[in-house]
Amino acid sequence: MLIKSSRDGLNPPLSSEITPREVYEERRKFIARMAAGAVAGSALWEMANREAFAQGAPAQKLAARANPALSTTEPRTAFKDATGYNNFYEFGLDKGDPAENAHTLQTRPWTVSIEGEVKKPMRLDIDSLTKLAPLEERVYRLRCVEGWSMVIPWVGYSLSNLIKHVEPTGNARYVEFTTLADRKQMPGLRSGVLDWPYVEGLRLDEAMHPLALLTVGMYGQVLPNQNGAPVRVVVPWKYGFKSAKSIVRIRFTRDQPKTAWNDSAPSEYGFYSNVNPKVDHPRWSQASERRIGEDGFFKKKRETLMFNGYPEVALLYAGMDLKKFF
C-alpha cells in the first residue's frame, strides 16, 4: 500500500498515486474472514465484484456516435481516475468515498419528473429519457472549483432536445435540477454540509446551448454510480458542481432558483459559476489547475482558461460583469 503526504500542503496526492480505499479495506476484510474460516462462496463473489468495481470494470455499453465538432482533442483522463476521484457528497466528503459507497445507489426503476412552466409536463423513465434523442459521445473538459480538472468522453445528447420536447412556456426563464436525496441509499446525507436535496440551476438560454449535455454515460458505457448515474447534466464551461448528478426532477421557473452551494456559501459560490481564472475563490486562486492523471512532483500546473476553454459561450454573457455575476 502506497501512502503519500501532501506535496505543498495545498495539493493532495493524486488518486493514481494512492491505493484506493475500497481495495485495501476489502482485502483486509477478506483476510479477516479467511482467518476466521468464514469465507463462503457468496463472500468471495461479493469481494470479487467490489474489487472489479473499484478497478473500473466495464458495465453496460451504449451505442453513441462521436461528435468531434463538440469535442476537445486533449488526452482523455484514465477511466480509473475519472471514476475513483470524485465529488459526490451524497456518498461522502472524501474524493474516494463515492467510489466506495455508491454501490448502494439503485438506478432502476428511475424516473425524472418534468414540471413547472412547460406546456407538456411529464414523468419519463430512464429508458424513455435515454431514447429521446440520438446519443453522442463528446469529449469535454470538466474543472472543479478546488483546482483540478479532467478530460472525459461523456455520452448523451444536448439538453435542448429535452427542453424542446416539453415546450417551455413564455414564463420559463430558468431550469432547476433536483437530485435524489435518499438516506437509505446515500450515507453522505447524514452530514450537514448542505441543505439536501442538492439543487442546481441554469438560465434557460444556458441550458439551450448545444454544449449543455444531458448525460447518461461515459467512456462508452452507462454512468457509474459514483459519477451521477443514471442521468446527470454536464455543463463544460462551468465549474463541476453546476453539473447536477442523479437527477429526479427538472423544473422550469420564472425566477432564479436557489441552488445548493450558492445558498450554503453565497460569498464563495455564485449562481453562474462560470470558469473565470480572474475571479478567485475567497480561499484559493483559480488561475491554474492540476490535471488529474498528470503525475509527478515537478509537473507544472496548467493555466486555467476562460470558460474552461469554451469561448463559444461568451455571447451568453455579453455585457455582464463576470466578476459581479460570478
- Listed in sequence order, the residues at least 6 apart from 295 whose beta carbon sits closer than 8 Å to its beta carbon are 14, 16, 17
Least Cα distance to 326 among 288, 287, 269, 283 occurs for 269
**Which secondary-structure segment (H or E) carries 142?**
strand 136-143
What share of the chain has pLDDT > 90, as a percent?
79
38 within some domain: no
Res 254: pLDDT: 98
pLDDT tops 50 at residue 22: no
Angle at 292 between CA 289 and CA 293, to 5 degrees: 135
Q: How many folded domains does the chain comprise?
A: 1
Mean pLDDT computed over 197-223: 98
pTM for this predicted structure: 0.83
pLDDT tops 60 at residue 241: yes
Mean pLDDT taken over the chain: 86
Strand partners, 249: 113, 178
45 within some domain: no
DSSP E strands: which ranges in 180-219?
Answer: 199-203, 213-218
pLDDT tops 80 at residue 48: no
Assigned C-alpha cell, 213: 449535455
Neighbours of 106 (CB within 10 A): 13
Summarised one tens digit per residue, pLDDT across range 97-130 is 999 999 999 999 999 999 999 999 999 999 999 9
Mean pLDDT computed over 5-27: 40
Question: How many alpha carbons fall within 13 Å on the CB side of residue 33?
Answer: 15
**Pairwise CA distance, residues 176 & 244, whole Å:** 10
Mean pLDDT computed over 132-144: 98
Using CA atoms, how far residue 151 sits from 76, 144, 203, in Å, is 5, 12, 25
Mean pLDDT computed over 234-259: 98
Strand partners, 234: 213
Res 304: pLDDT: 98
50 within some domain: no
**Pairwise CA distance, residues 47 & 31, whole Å:** 11
Res 120: pLDDT: 98
26 within some domain: no
Reported confidence tier of residue 2, pLDDT bands at 50, 70, 90: very low
- Listed in sequence order, the residues at least 6 apart from 164 whose beta carbon sits closer than 8 Å to its beta carbon are none
Identify the CATH number of the domain in which residue 181 sits.
3.90.420.10
94 within some domain: yes
pLDDT tops 70 at residue 6: no
Q: What is the DSSP string of 26-46?
A: HHHHHHHHHHHT---HHHHHH
Reported confidence tier of residue 294, pLDDT bands at 50, 70, 90: confident
Res 244: pLDDT: 98
- Listed in sequence order, the residues at least 6 apart from 109 whose beta carbon sits closer than 8 Å to its beta carbon are 125, 126
User: What is the residue range of 140's domain?
Assistant: 56-317
235 within some domain: yes
Res 37: pLDDT: 45
Reported confidence tier of residue 29, pLDDT bands at 50, 70, 90: very low
Res 224: pLDDT: 98
Mean pLDDT computed over 208-215: 98
2 within some domain: no
3 within some domain: no
Res 131: pLDDT: 97
Mean pLDDT computed over 183-210: 97
Look at the alpha carbons of 156, 63, 248, 102 in this order and tell me if their dihedral is positive or negative.
negative
**Pairwise CA distance, residues 231 & 44, whole Å:** 31
Q: Which residue has the cell 424516473?
A: 111
